[in-house]
């Protein structure tokens, strides 16, 4: 399954094309001039941000004077990169790269300050948080996003699942979505995931005091060394999502993760805090949904 993952193949192809360009000591601008296209197009092909056409790959193979075997291999990778992943059936998902990279990741490390990560959400929580973030979204699209999110979670139950590390601000487990029953169900799911060994979750408690992070929600995805895939940081934002893969950016986010681990409780103490939050939520936790007001 992972061998034909289109997102992974797209990024693998980009990494190999970038390597060939560097071997020929050519700049992106020089390649673009030879192929009569923009430098932006070449750059997007190399970073995996643009789906390659077979003609693009053929022309680049000719430019780099690769042998027939390598050319055939790269063309095969390009074809696999153009196959639609299961998530393509969902309209307006806007998470194609993230889902594809999750599918082949060896390690996924996530930090969240305000809400439960998608891979841990219950169906009720997922629908509630989507409706809060985008209250005017078409209900059909909301349901598609919820369905896709539930389907994404299957990767944590695979035999060869990724190592999933989660760092949560205590705010995430104290501020629920929905009524008390839904909040308890969400915290139950988190605890069950931990008990099953499908995730390592650590909470940064309020007692740790103020701390600074680069973003309120980010994911570091790392891959097997046998793949032509470099680590990627995914950053979620209202104005759009970002994917960073420069070495300097990866190093910066690894520093942030180490910083957060230093302030987090151990997995065992975190589980105790989540259990306590579950007990405390009865009649005490305040929903994040805005109250209805007559006008």
Instruction: Report the pLDDT value the prediction gives residue 289, as an integer from 0 to 100.
Output: 47
CATH number of the domain at 39, please: 1.10.260.40
Residue 237 near residue 114 (C-beta atoms within 8 A): no
pLDDT digits (tens, 9 = 90+) for 252-285: 999 999 999 999 999 999 999 999 999 887 655 4
pTM listed for this prediction: 0.76
Instruction: Report the pLDDT value the prediction gives residue 227, as an integer from 0 to 100.
Output: 58
Instruction: Report the pLDDT value the prediction gives residue 294, as an integer from 0 to 100.
Output: 38
Low-confidence stretches of the chain (pLDDT < 70) are 1-4, 91-96, 226-228, 282-295
Domain that residue 113 falls in: 87-280
Residues 244 and 100 in one domain: yes
Q: How far apart are CA 234 and CA 51, in angstroms?
A: 19
Instruction: Report the pLDDT value the prediction gives residue 7, as an integer from 0 to 100.
Output: 81
Residue 205 near residue 170 (C-beta atoms within 8 A): yes
Residues 68 and 122 in one domain: no
Instruction: Report the pLDDT value the prediction gives residue 285, as an integer from 0 to 100.
Output: 44
Instruction: Report the pLDDT value the prediction gives residue 31, as an integer from 0 to 100.
Output: 93
Residue 122 near residue 177 (C-beta atoms within 8 A): no
Final residue of a domain: which of 54, 83, 112?
83
Residue 99 near residue 2 (C-beta atoms within 8 A): no
DSSP H helical segments within 48-179, as ranges?
54-63, 68-81, 96-104, 123-133, 139-152, 170-174
Residues 17 and 93 in one domain: no
Q: How far apart are CA 152 and CA 275, in angstroms?
A: 25
Instruction: Report the pLDDT value the prediction gives residue 83, as an integer from 0 to 100.
Output: 79
> Is 289 domain-assigned?
no
pLDDT digits (tens, 9 = 90+) for 204-231: 999 998 888 878 999 999 998 755 678 9
Residue 199 near residue 165 (C-beta atoms within 8 A): yes
β-strand partners of 166? 110, 201
Final residue of a domain: which of 56, 83, 110?
83
Residue 166 near residue 199 (C-beta atoms within 8 A): yes
Residues 193 and 255 in one domain: yes
Instruction: Report the pLDDT value the prediction gives residue 30, as an integer from 0 to 100.
Output: 94
- Tally the domains of the chain: 2
> Is 285 domain-assigned?
no
Q: How far apart are CA 121 and CA 188, in angstroms?
A: 10
> Is 16 domain-assigned?
yes
Residues 112 and 181 in one domain: yes
Residues 119 and 255 in one domain: yes
Residue 276 near residue 165 (C-beta atoms within 8 A): no
CATH number of the domain at 206, please: 3.30.870
How many DSSP H helices and E strands does the chain contain?
Answer: 12, 6
Residues 150 and 40 in one domain: no
């Amino acid at each position: 399954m992972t061998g034909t993952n289109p997102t992974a193949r797209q990024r693998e192809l980009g990494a190999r094309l970038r390597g060939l360009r560097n071997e020929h000591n050519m700049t992106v601008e020089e390649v673009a001039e030879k192929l009569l296209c923009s430098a932006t197009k070449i750059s997007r092909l190399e970073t995996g941000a643009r789906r390659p056409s077979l003609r693009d790959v053929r022309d680049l193979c000719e430019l780099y004077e690769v042998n027939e075997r390598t050319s055939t291999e790269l063309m095969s990778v390009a074809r696999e990169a153009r196959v639609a992943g299961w998530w393509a059936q969902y309209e307006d998902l806007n998470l194609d790269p993230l889902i594809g990279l999750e599918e082949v990741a060896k390690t996924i490390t996530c930090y969240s300050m305000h809400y439960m990560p998608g891979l841990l959400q219950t169906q009720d929580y997922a629908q509630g948080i989507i409706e809060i973030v985008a209250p005017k979204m078409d209900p059909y699209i909301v349901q598609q996003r919820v369905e896709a999110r539930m389907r994404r979670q299957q990767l944590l139950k695979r035999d060869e699942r990724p190592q999933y590390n989660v760092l949560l601000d205590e705010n995430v487990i104290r501020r629920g979505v929905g009524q008390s029953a839904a909040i308890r169900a969400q915290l139950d799911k988190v605890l069950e995931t931990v008990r099953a060994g499908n995730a390592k979750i650590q909470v940064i408690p309020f007692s740790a005091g103020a701390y600074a992070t680069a973003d309120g929600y980010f994911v570091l995805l790392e891959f097997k060394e046998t793949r032509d895939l470099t680590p990627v940081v995914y950053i979620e934002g209202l104005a759009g999502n970002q994917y960073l893969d420069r070495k300097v950016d990866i190093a910066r986010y690894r520093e942030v993760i180490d910083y957060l681990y230093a302030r987090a409780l151990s997995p065992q103490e975190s589980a105790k805090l989540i259990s306590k939050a579950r007990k405390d939520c009865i009649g005490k936790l305040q929903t994040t949904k805005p109250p209805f007001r007559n006008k």
